[in-house]
Every structure is written in C-alpha cells, then in structure tokens.
Amino acid sequence: MDHAADAHRTDLMTITRHVLNEQSRNPESRGDFTILLSHIVLGCKFVASAVNKAGLAQLIGLAGETNVQGEEQKKLDVLSNEVFVKALVSSGRTCVLVSEEDEEATFVDPKLRGKYCVCFDPLDGSSNIDCGVSIGTIFGIYMIKDKDNVTLADVLQPGKDMLAAGYCMYGSSCTLVLSTGSGVNGFTLDPSLGEFILTHPDIKIPKKGKIYSVNEGNAKNWDVPVAKFVEKCKYPEDGTPPKSLRYIGSMVADVHRTLLYGGVFLYPADQKSPNGKLRVLYEVFPMSFLMEQAGGQSFTGKERALDLVPTKIHDRSPIFLGSYDDVEEIKALYAEQAKSSSA
C-alpha cells in the first residue's frame, strides 16, 4: 500500500481552507473577505448543478415561456443572476453589485451592507448551452471606501485596484480559478464531497505559446496590427512553426486554455465594434488580473488593460491577453503603427 499517496489524497486543500490560510497571513483581516468568497463559491456550486440538469429541466428554454404547471420558465442565465445576487446580498459583505444581466447597478439595503463591490457575469457564453460547450461565471471584487455613501463613481475604478478576481468554468469538470493578488490557483469541484479541491496550485502561464485564439470571421474589419499579427501566427517569417488556431467562442473556456497552455486570446476592436465587444468591469478586468498574476500580460491596443478607467458600468474594450512574449509582439505592432501614423 502506498501510504504517502493515501495521505496526499486524504489531506485535501479545499478552497475554504486555502482562503483561510491566506487570511491568517494578514493579521488585520476580520474574515469578511473569506465569508464573501464562500458565498460566491456557493453560487458557483448552485449554477454548476443547474447547468448539469439544464437539458433535462428544460432550463434552456427562453425566459418567459411557461411550463406545464403554468409556472414561468427561467432561462439559465436569468436564474444564475438571481442566485448570485441573492448569495452576495445575503453575505452581508457587499454594498454594490454590477451584473452583466442588469442594466443598473444593485445597491444593497443599508442594513445588509459590507465594504465590497462585486462585478460579475453570472453565465458567460450562455448562448452555447444548447450545444454543450463550456460556459462560466466571471467575477471581480473591489473595496469601497465608504459603504454608507456608496455611489456609482465608487464602482468605476481601474482594474489595478481590484482585490481579487476569478472565474468558474462549467465543463467536463467544474473548475474555479482564483487570485487574491498573490498568484493564481485552480480548484476542481469534487461532486462526491461537494467541495472545491486545489488541483492547480500556483498557475503560471508559459512565457510564449503555440496557440492563438480569435474569431477570424471578423478579419475583414480588423485594423492593420491585428491583421499583421494573425498573418505572422499563420506564416512566421523566422522559420518557427505556425501557431495553432483554437477558438471556442466562450470567453471562460478560451481564457482557461490560454492560461494553462499559453498563447494569446484576442478580441480586438474592428469597424463593426470600434470599442471591442467584451465588457470592461466583469470580463476584461478579472481575466486581465488573472493573466498578470500568472505572469502574462493584457493589453487593449492602447494601454495596459488594468490601467483603463471605465466611465459606465457596461463599458466595452478591445482585449489582447495571454503569454508575455506574444502580447509583447502585439504591443510592438501597435507601437509601429502609431509611429508611422504620427510621422
């Protein structure tokens, strides 16, 4: 019998234990952040369970349809949004929430307020549910200075001020990737225990990757640097093999692969969407935060993504994120264009 292996299997690092360990390194912390995260984790478990049952429960149906009992059906993204809003409000640790599903920010009842703001996309890639492609939840957490007088301006902070970010991917397994500002860790849901177990400690993205990920259907609308970069991926001039194209069309799945295998994920601006399509607060910022924490880079075509200051809660931005050297190459192409246009 391999006692060492058995000991390893029985000494499980759950996400709660991991976060409590982090907390014990900060003697001044009062456990508020840990409580908030445990509510986010609960929301993720609920959505994971609902996603697994979606086909059977006909949750895929459009919101507004009624079932045989005459009850209104809730589409999965609407249900996920309600779950997260309720979980976050009931934690007593949030004062304002921004969701992709809600046009306005949600200000928490003063009696239940805490010091955190959470921006989230409850179910990213939900149009892919019908065909079984991985989908996910993305979240970013900020501190609010004055919870009793919180305004929308307090939410519109640059990404570099974020305290923590993560995503939960509902796919062949349910994986939660989290950073609290000191590295990136990945946890996998063990369905028999109902617990997220640490399976990917201290994730580091390779410095250079062999994969590029972009919707090439938009190629005719791209600007020159993007077109040049993708051309170089396919027809390298330095004798290296061409990069492989992998594009799922679900941001969580594409970024997850990029984080583990290296490479670059790009959703650039184009003539059709001059500001890009991905939303700053709950897609661009959390994923950029994770990439930088894992040793990668994130760039908007103009600046470091985390330096952006949003002006509205649903602002959009172009994004290039992934392996350090690959993003460096994109930055050089944009710098070259800026130089030639100012010449």
- More confident: 131 or 216: 216
Examine the domain organization and report whether 92 and 232 are in the same domain: no
**333 neighbors 326 (Cβ within 8 angstroms):** no
User: What's the whole-number average pLDDT of the chain?
Assistant: 91
Residue 299 sits at φ, ψ, to 5 deg, of -140, 145
- Boundary of a domain, candidates 137, 165, 200: 200
**155 neighbors 162 (Cβ within 8 angstroms):** no
* 56 vs 186: CA distance, rounded Å: 29
Beta bridge partners of 244: 211
Examine the domain organization and report whether 196 and 215 are in the same domain: no
Checking 190-194 for CB contacts under 8 A at 24+ apart, the result is: 193/12, 194/45
Evaluate if residue 7 carries a pLDDT over 70.
Answer: no
Domain interval for residue 242 = 211-341
Which pLDDT value is given to residue 127?
80
Q: Where are the alpha helices (DSSP H) in 67-194?
A: 76-90, 152-155
Examine the domain organization and report whether 74 and 180 are in the same domain: yes
Evaluate if residue 71 carries a pLDDT over 50.
Answer: no
Evaluate if residue 67 carries a pLDDT over 70.
Answer: no
Examine the domain organization and report whether 159 and 194 are in the same domain: yes
Which pLDDT value is given to residue 62?
54
Examine the domain organization and report whether 20 and 155 are in the same domain: yes
Mean pLDDT of 9-13: 82
- Boundary of a domain, candidates 176, 200, 224: 200
Mean pLDDT of 67-80: 66
Examine the domain organization and report whether 61 and 40 are in the same domain: yes
pTM beyond 0.85, yes or no: yes
Evaluate if residue 103 carries a pLDDT over 80.
Answer: yes
- Boundary of a domain, candidates 200, 235, 258: 200
Total domains, the chain? 2
